[in-house]
Structure 1
Amino acid sequence: MCVLVCAMIIASVGLNMSSTAVIIGAMLISPIMGSILASAYGNVSADYSLLKNHMLGFGLQIAISVAAASIYFFLYYNIFFTFNLILMPDLFNAGDEFHKKNN
């Protein structure tokens, strides 16, 4: 699962950078393909216990992937916008500070 979390973080960085190559690289190292292939094999060979086990595993992998990406984007945008407001204030922030000083 560690490789899965790393792949999701790499894919999230690729989405932030708008880099197709980084997203494709994250897809190459992602271990999700094993569950997809096992589910397809279980479906074709009518081995429904194999299909059930790997579909549950696939659902767990999807949940972990979404959680890792959500944590990354939550931290990224909170940290980025906090530093952006401190380092590069715009006219709205300056007016807000002016209003706070006068009240």
Structure 2
Amino acid sequence: MVPQEYVVRAQPPVLCPGYAILQAIMEKAGQNNWQVSAICVENFNDANYRRLLEDLDRRQEKKFVMDLEAERLSNMLEQIVSVGKHVKGYHYIMANLVSTVSL
């Protein structure tokens, strides 16, 4: 069974390959009546990551799909631990859905 609520992090839609992936996710979510929130965290620092995680907690969001650049993964994991969102009940899928292909 597919969980009904996800928070999807994606790059901004300005000429970004990740935008096509986000659009496909949003379309599929609509077809299946899933509740999906897309949140761009392009220029976030540690404090902003923590604030975002705390805000999502207030909204009782506990299932996340995150599209992260490899260099941001470690930082995000540190912030998840620092605000205590690494315990039972929280679920994360983290990936780098954007790849660069030389044509």
Using structure 2 for the length normalisation, give the TM-score.
0.24
Query: Whose strand fraction is larger, Structure 1's or Structure 2's?
Result: 2
- The one of the two structures with greater contact order (alpha-carbon pairs below 8 A, sep at least 6) is 2
Using structure 1 for the length normalisation, give the TM-score.
0.24
Query: Whose helix fraction is larger, Structure 1's or Structure 2's?
Result: 1
